[in-house]
Structure 1
Amino acid sequence: MTANTAPAIRPENPNFSSGPCAKRPGWTLEALADAPLGRSHRAKVGKAKLKEAIDLTREVLEVPADYRIGIVPASDTGAVEMALWSLLGARPVDMLAWESFGEGWVTDVVKQLKLADARVLKAAYGDLPDLTQIDFTHDVVFTWNGTTSGVMVPDANWIPADREGLTICDATSAAFAQPVDFSKLDVVTFSWQKVLGGEGAHGILILSPRAVERLETYKPAWPLPKIFRLTKNGKINEGIFKGETINTPSMLCVEDYLDALKWAKEIGGLKALQERSNRNFEAIAQWVARTDWVDFLANDPVTRSNSSVCLKVVDPEVTALPEDAQAAFAKAIPAGLEKGGVAYDIGAYRDAPPGLRIWCGATVERSDVEALTLWLDWAFNEAKAALKA
């Protein structure tokens, strides 16, 4: 029997979690030294930091000048919920779901808001729904990048410019990693803990002029909690989009986000961030192409995410096992690498099919991804040997 020799090189940074994600290269706690700790976010210094974060977000993400950007509570989830509860109900809505988070938004709209005219278009993990079936006289809610399936929409060409309804897009694993066409989107949300590796708990909500018009002309039939209220006296609350947050933000987290945005500017902005993600994905794709035991969960190559890369074990001896044994085998691979301190948090999401999920966003180095693939082969062989023992 051939010995399974451990690779000679290891990833310098073993953090491949899909959220919170790896910090930018070279990050240290000293990067946060300028945070106004112990100060009010309503003080001049606090407001200035929040406004700077909004302005840098617009610059780096290339958000149109007439779109509003706000920092909101509760990460991307909070941003999406604010949009759903504040905007939906004015017209029918098409809900798209092809992974866990999209399913969550369906639950909110169908079971919590109880919208009778909600139409759900679903696809199994690995595929997209039939986008030609969407009715754009309706509002449309979708994730740009399915974080738990590794399936993304390839572009925004399927969204008409003359749509009647609003498009509400959860873009949390896509913003900064994939080209997001703002002209086709009325609401865009993300959390800075993803592609920029910022600290968690805060979300970003971006509104088009059409979304603002809806907010100012439509009042939902249900009561809105304070942290969801985007209007005041029938008009958009402009303060939210100038750094006057609804609830108290962590100025330490804001400083961390500013550090990430400044790093992004230094390396070349949005294009450079996307190129880093693409190169990381390319390292995974090249490994998958030459490796017979693994494949992408996303079936169509043009829908494969370059950030949250989801993989499945396709080795015939493993796929012949009962489902619970297949799941145990898939879990053994990341467990072995975590135990050795080689790679952390690369198991599939709890609601997804068994497999691997490797973050390849802009804060990850390609050399670490390449080193990881060597260890994935090693861990697979270890799990296979244990299976035969």
Structure 2
Amino acid sequence: MSARPTVKPERPWFSSGPTAKRPGWSSQGLSHALLGRGIRAPEVVARFAHGLKLTREVLRPPEDWVLVYTPGSDTGAVEAAMWSMLGQRPVQVLAFENFGQQWAIDARDHLNLEPEVLAAPWGELPDLSRVDPAKDLVLPWNGTTSGVRMPNGDFIAADREGLVICDATSAAFAMPLPWDRLDVVTFSFQKALGGEAGIGVLAMSPRAVARLDAFVPPRPVPKVLRLRDAKGFDRSLASGSMINTFSVWTIEDWIDGLEWAKAVGGLEALIARTDANAAALGAWVDRTDWIDYLATDPANRSTTSICLKIVDSRITTLDETGRQAFVKRMKKLLEGEGAAFDVESHRNAPAGLRLWCGCTVETADVVAVTPWLDWAFARAVADLTG
């Protein structure tokens, strides 16, 4: 049996959302938050506008794109785009993990569209050659629940007629995005920069704004998803105005994360930190015989939400319920020692492990957690086999 390690990660937080806070984070750093003030007070509105300005400075979308806040984290941002923009053209959805599957269900069952769903098994990408530039496209850039990401944007036509709505919640601030091949990019505070949950961001190209101006959705749109006013796109939203009442604390926490991102070197540094974390975990996977990536193609492996499958025959011969129970046993052991929290796979994904390796995680902690994973596996096998 693997010996119990002696060194623990200093920050044993590997959840895929909300993710680890930035190194050095303290609630005292938010003591200036305008708590108790009205959401429409000029000072509060100015802070929300400042948050969008910093978001633009760090993420660097094209200058002619607009950014707005949405309720409901990334889910709310994707839903706002779908409810407000889809229906003018036929729709395709890439469904290769949980959230792509959900967007397909929403398009079919709630928007009453007939989407063409390009699906793939867990750990694989759909046939991207089937993407039709004449159709609107909804896709996750990085499969948070499958550990599979797009290798590049070459499969999207530069001269496309349809809009591309990209769920980038576990990709933004962590990997390059081909802005010229996308029209809507969504993400939430709770992913790459370790923000709090509840608020999403919707970045839109001029083509997306033109769709909002010209297209009246053939359906009632709930207020919390409404991007249009009587004239088209509600341009007040691009100044930081809020669709409904947002958390002032949450926006201050987001601003704190963005200021940290600028201080450590901006987008390139955030991507480099993420890549270093993924490489450290990958080195362990390569030398460990009981674990492997869920993503089958190395070119498509996520660097943020790294999903792993247990390949030891003593576990693979169990049914899915047995495999889930085994992972829960590992989780209990790790959390009981305070060595790692929330490393189980998504509830709708195959049983396995999932570790967040985004930029707010320290590489030293990734290295430190791997002996604990070996230890927990060995202990759980011993419990299983008696």
Give the TM-score normalised by the residue count of structure 2.
0.98
Shift of 1:175: 0.2
Query: Structure 1 CA distance, aligned partners of 2:80 and 2:309?
Result: 34
- Cα distance in structure 1, aligned partners of 2:320 and 2:81: 38
2:277 corresponds, among 272, 277, 280, to 280
For residues 264-318 of structure 1, the C-alpha deviation after alignment (integer angstroms, 9 at most, x for no partner) is 0000000000111100000111000000000000000011100000000001222
Q: Report if the CA contact (8 A) 2:188-2:197 is conserved.
A: yes
Deviation larger for 375-384 or 311-320: 311-320
Distance in 2 between the 1:323 and 1:85 partners? Answer: 36
1:139–1:165 Cα contact (<8 Å) kept? yes
> Which residue matches 1:71?
69
For the 8 Å contact 2:68–2:203, the answer to whether it is kept is yes
For 2:20, the equivalent position in structure 1 comes to 22
1:291 to 284, 288, 292: 288
Does the Cα contact within 8 Å between 1:172 and 1:189 map onto a contact in 2? yes
Q: Distance in 2 between matches of 1:253 and 1:228?
A: 19
CA contact (8 A) 1:313 1:330 kept: no
How far the C-alpha of 1:220 sits from its partner, in A, is 1.0
Counterpart contact for 1:56–1:261, Cα < 8 Å: yes
Q: Equivalences for 1:13-92 in 2 at 5 Å? A: 13-92=11-90
Hey, what does 1:102 align to over in structure 2? 100
Distance in 2 (CA, whole Å) between partners of 1:305 and 1:8 is 30
Per mean C-alpha deviation after superposition, the further-off stretch among 322-331 and 194-203 is 322-331
1:340 Cα deviation after fit:
1.6
Task: Kindly provide the amino acid, as one letter, of the partner of residue 106 in structure 1.
Answer: A
| CA–CA distance in structure 1, aligned partners of residues 75 and 111 of structure 2 | 16
Query: Could you say what secondary structure the match of 1:198 adopts?
Result: coil
Q: What is the number of equivalent residue pairs in this alignment?
A: 386
Match of 2:218 in 1: 221
Distance in 1 separating the partners of 2:254 and 2:277: 22
CA distance in 1, matches of 2:315, 2:226: 51
| Alpha carbons 2:77, 2:187 under 8 Å: kept | yes
CA distance in 1, matches of 2:233, 2:109: 28
* Alignment match, 1:241: 238
Does structure 2 retain, via aligned residues, the 8 Å contact 1:61–1:270?
yes
Specify the SS of the correspondent of 1:145: coil
**Range moving further from structure 2, 196-205 or 28-37:** 28-37
Q: Secondary structure at the match of 1:71?
A: strand
Once residues 141 and 54 of structure 2 are traced to their aligned partners in structure 1, the CA distance between those partners, rounded to angstroms, is 22
Is 2:177 the counterpart of 1:180? yes
AA of the residue aligned to 2:8: R
CA positional deviation for 1:224: 1.1
Name the SS for the 1:66 alignment partner: coil
Determine the structure 1 residue equivalent to 2:134: 137
1:320 Cα deviation after fit: 2.3
How far 1:360 sits from its partner (Å)? Answer: 0.4
Q: Which residue of 2 aligns with 1:7?
A: 5
Stretches of structure 2 that go unaligned for 5 or more consecutive residues are none
Structure 2 match to 1:250: 247
Give the Cα separation in 2 of the matches to 1:218 and 1:236.
Answer: 10
**Deviations 1:113-147 (Å, cap 9, x if unpaired)?**
1113x111100110000000111100000000000
Deviation, 1:244, is 0.9
Percentage identity across paired residues of the two chains: 51
Which has the higher mean CA deviation after the structures are superposed, 337-346 or 297-306?
337-346
Find runs of 4+ consecutive structure 1 residues off by over 3 angstroms.
none
Give the superposition deviation at 1:108. Answer: 0.3
Could you say which residue in structure 1 is the equivalent of 2:257?
A: 260
Structure 1 stretch displaced more, 229-238 or 362-371 = 229-238
Mean alpha-carbon deviation: is it higher for 20-29 or for 38-47? 38-47
Q: Aligned-pair distance for 1:31? A: 1.2
CA contact 1:71–1:243 (8 Å) conserved in 2: yes
Please give the alpha-carbon distance, in whole angstroms, between the structure 2 residues aligned to 1:375 and 1:275: 25
Mapped contact 1:334–1:356 kept (Cα < 8 A): no
Tell me how far 1:192 sits from its aligned partner.
Answer: 1.1
1:169 pairs with one of 166, 171, 175? 166
Does the CA-based 8 Å contact 2:164-2:181 persist in structure 1? yes
**1:331–1:354 CA contact under 8 A, matched in 2:** no
Cα distance in 2 between the residues matched to 1:24 and 1:230: 31
Amino acid at match of 2:360: T
What is the distance in 2 between the residues matched to 1:4 and 1:180? 41
Q: Corresponding residue for 2:362? A: 365
Is there any run of 5+ residues in structure 1 with no aligned partner, and where? none
| Alpha-carbon offset, residue 228 of structure 1 | 1.9
Q: Output one character per residue of 1:40-87: Cα deviation in whole Å (capped at 9) or x when no partner.
A: 221111111011100111110011110000011111010000000000
Q: Deviations over 1:331-382 (max 9, x none)?
A: 2212210122111111010000000010001000001011110100000110
- Determine helix, strand or coil for the equivalent of 1:151: coil
Distance across 2 between alignment mates of 1:82 and 1:218: 14
For residues 48 and 214 of structure 1, the distance between their equivalents in structure 2, rounded to whole angstroms, comes to: 28
2:320, 2:351 within 8 Å by CA — same for their partners in 1? Answer: no
Question: What is the Cα-based RMSD across aligned positions, in Å?
Answer: 0.9
Partner amino acid, structure 1, of 2:343: I
Structure 1 Cα separation of the partners of residues 317 and 243 of structure 2: 53
| Distance (Å, rounded) in 2 between the aligned partners of 1:86 and 1:323 | 39
